[in-house]
């Protein structure tokens, strides 16, 4: 029995570990195109930008793979899947047979919808951080396109290192996919207080970076923004080319059922690249806790230790002194209730759907987050009227009536 995993990122490595821990005794191979020892991604936009001398943190130390009898092949670009022969082939012509194949290919950046001259600078990989960290130390002027969490983490680090930072984003508020409007506003004020500038409703028409130290962004309204470097951070999409070309069902992610099985019973998908059927809907999450949870669930499925998978999604982002923790899943039109003082210190936003708390967003409010996470893992976030009695919060939540004006 041989299990082959494409992608030795967080989902792939965690899965291989969990499978062995569950007692799987067959051959287990992890293939990854990257030359580096599989490393943790979250520090890339946080500690590691501030301190380039810091060694990258591996997902597991080198000794782990041998000890767990996991064959890790680095520099292996998987180019095709032959489903009939149950074989994957690599760019250099090598082939490998599988009994079970796991796709853990993660995300990729889409081609930007604007004109480009010069390189497109992003922060996705260790190589990107190796490049950006020294640039930030030179106190450059940097424009970050996109106000998602990676963009804001970079903005915070760059600001702390003495750079002049402008975040330009298409929307009207920051992290609009991840948090409520009141949380966006609170985070915005904190970044502004640190000197980070923002330009909202910015539609980028072109980006020129013809040589190091010169960069310009031209907006659709004709205005031009100058800097030393421009970083594209507008978000990612699932990396699905392999699956699509192999004829698997793909729609904004490799489609999988609640056992994480694709349309081919011998092939599974986990992590950022997978879109799981969940109740009536489909769910695709780009987060580390999701990658880890799915990895463990799949190990359970494959070793017959499966239990029903009920995702309890949570997420974090740390942007300088801003520690954001989110437990649960909200929809755009969920109501918002504030607990605590949003102008200063710690507070949380409870998102509410049909009277029930769907999600808790906490800013430097670890206590509320930890209670929410425990409740969520028991699947028992309370109805909003009982939020105080249930112990979720200590003071009465205040409804946010209209979205605050930025």
Ligand X SMILES: Cc1cc2nc3c(=O)[nH]c(=O)nc-3n(C[C@H](O)[C@H](O)[C@H](O)COP(=O)(O)OP(=O)(O)OC[C@H]3O[C@@H](n4cnc5c(N)ncnc54)[C@H](O)[C@@H]3O)c2cc1C
- Chain residues in the site for ligand X (CB under 6 A): 6-12, 31-34, 41-42, 44-45, 76-78, 104-107, 123-124, 150, 239, 242, 271-273, 286-289, 291, 315-317
> Of the two residues 150 and 387, which places its CB atom closer to ligand X in the complex?
150
Q: What is the largest CA-CA distance in the chain?
A: 63
- Residue 163 phi, psi (nearest 5): -80, 160
Out of other proteins, ligand X, none, which partner does residue 67 contact, by CB within 5 to 8 A per kind? other proteins
Of 183, 270, 298, 371, the one binding other proteins (CB under 8 A) is 371
Alpha carbon distance, N-terminus to C-terminus of the chain: 58
| Closest separation in Å from C-beta 240 to ligand X | 10
> Of the two residues 56 and 289, which places its CB atom closer to ligand X in the complex?
289
| Closest separation in Å from C-beta 226 to ligand X | 26
Q: Are strands 314-319 and 141-145 parallel, antiparallel or unpaired?
A: unpaired
> Of the two residues 169 and 397, which places its CB atom closer to ligand X in the complex?
169
SS3 83: coil
Q: Per residue in 122-134, is it b (16+ CB within 10 Å) or e — as a string?
A: bbbebebbeebbe
Say whether residue 42 binds other proteins (CB under 8 A). Answer: yes
350 CA to centre of own chain: 22
> Of the two residues 131 and 316, which places its CB atom closer to other proteins in the complex?
316
Binding residues for other proteins, how many (CB under 8 A)? 36
- Residue 4 β-bridge partners: 29, 101
Helix, strand, coil percentages (3-state) for the chain, rounded to 5, are: 25, 30, 45
Say whether residue 51 binds other proteins (CB under 8 A). Answer: no
Say whether residue 367 binds other proteins (CB under 8 A). Answer: yes
Of 17, 32, 286, 361, the one binding other proteins (CB under 8 A) is 17
The dihedral over CA atoms of 349, 352, 356, 362, expressed in degrees to the nearest 10, equals -20
DSSP assignment string, 194-217: TT-EEE-S--EEEEEEEETTEEEE
Out of other proteins, ligand X, none, which partner does residue 259 contact, by CB within 5 to 8 A per kind? none
- How is residue 351 written in tokens? 């998102």
> Of the two residues 87 and 160, which places its CB atom closer to other proteins in the complex?
160
Query: Distance (Å, rounded) from C-alpha 236 to C-alpha 241?
Result: 14
- For residue 74, what are the CA distances in angstroms to 11, 32, 78, 90, 349? 16, 5, 11, 11, 43
Stretch near other proteins under the rule CB under 8 A, chosen from 43-51, 161-169, 222-230, 261-269: 43-51
Out of other proteins, ligand X, none, which partner does residue 340 contact, by CB within 5 to 8 A per kind? none
Stretch near other proteins under the rule CB under 8 A, chosen from 41-49, 166-174, 182-190, 224-232: 41-49
Radius of gyration of the chain from its Cα atoms, rounded to whole angstroms: 22
The helix-helix angle for 288-302 and 10-21 (nearest 10°) equals 30
| Closest separation in Å from C-beta 385 to other proteins | 24
Which residues, 257 to 316, sit near other proteins by CB under 8 A?
A: 288-289, 292-293, 296, 316
- How is residue 150 written in tokens? 């990676």
> Of the two residues 293 and 342, which places its CB atom closer to other proteins in the complex?
293
Of 64, 131, 200, 278, the one binding other proteins (CB under 8 A) is 64
Out of other proteins, ligand X, none, which partner does residue 68 contact, by CB within 5 to 8 A per kind? other proteins
Ramachandran bin of 271, using left for φ above 0, alpha for ψ from -120 to 50, beta for the remaining angles: left
Out of other proteins, ligand X, none, which partner does residue 278 contact, by CB within 5 to 8 A per kind? none
Q: Contact residues for other proteins (CB under 8 A)?
A: 10, 14, 17, 21, 40, 42-43, 46-47, 55, 57-58, 60-65, 67-68, 288-289, 292-293, 296, 316, 318, 323, 325, 366-367, 369-371, 373-374
């Amino acid at each position: 029995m041989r299990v082959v995993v494409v992608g030795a990122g967080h989902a792939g490595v965690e899965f291989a570990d969990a499978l062995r821990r569950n007692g799987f005794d067959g051959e287990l191979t992890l293939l990854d195109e990257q030359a580096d020892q599989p490393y943790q991604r979250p520090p890339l936009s946080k500690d590691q930008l501030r301190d380039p001398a810091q060694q990258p943190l591996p997902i597991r130390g080198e000794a782990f793979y041998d000890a767990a009898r996991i064959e890790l092949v680095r520099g292996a670009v998987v180019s095709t899947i032959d489903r009939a022969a149950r074989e994957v082939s690599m760019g250099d012509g090598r082939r490998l047979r599988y009994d079970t194949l796991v796709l853990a290919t993660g995300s990729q950046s889409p081609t930007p919808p604007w004109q480009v001259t010069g390189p497109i600078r992003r922060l996705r990989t260790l190589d990107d951080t190796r490049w950006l960290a020294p640039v930030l130390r030179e106190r450059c002027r940097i424009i970050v396109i996109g106000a998602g969490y990676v963009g804001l983490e970079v903005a915070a680090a760059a600001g702390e290192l003495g750079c002049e930072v402008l975040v330009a984003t298409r929307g009207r508020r920051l992290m609009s996919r991840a948090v409520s409007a009141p949380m966006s506003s609170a985070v915005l004020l904190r970044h502004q207080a640190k000197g980070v500038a923002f330009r909202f409703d910015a539609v980028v028409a072109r980006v020129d970076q013809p040589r190091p130290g010169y960069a310009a962004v031209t907006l659709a309204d004709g205005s031009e923004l100058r800097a030393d470097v421009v970083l594209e951070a507008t978000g990612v999409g699932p990396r699905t080319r392999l699956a699509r070309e192999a004829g698997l069902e793909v729609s904004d992610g490799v489609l999988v059922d609640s056992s994480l099985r694709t349309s081919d019973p011998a092939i599974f998908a986990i992590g950022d690249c997978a879109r799981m059927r969940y109740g009536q809907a489909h769910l695709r999450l780009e987060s580390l806790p999701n990658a880890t949870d799915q990895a463990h669930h799949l190990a359970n499925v494959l070793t017959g230790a499966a239990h029903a998978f009920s995702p309890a999604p949570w997420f974090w982002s740390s942007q300088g002194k801003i520690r954001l923790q989110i437990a649960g899943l909200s929809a755009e039109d969920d109501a918002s209730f504030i607990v605590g003082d949003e102008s200063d210190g710690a507070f949380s936003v409870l998102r509410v759907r049909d009277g029930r708390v769907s999600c808790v967003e906490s800013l430097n409010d670890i206590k509320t987050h930890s209670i929410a996470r425990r409740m969520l893992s028991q699947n028992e976030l309370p109805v909003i009227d009982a939020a105080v009695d249930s112990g979720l919060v200590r003071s009465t939540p205040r409804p946010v009536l209209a979205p605050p004006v930025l």
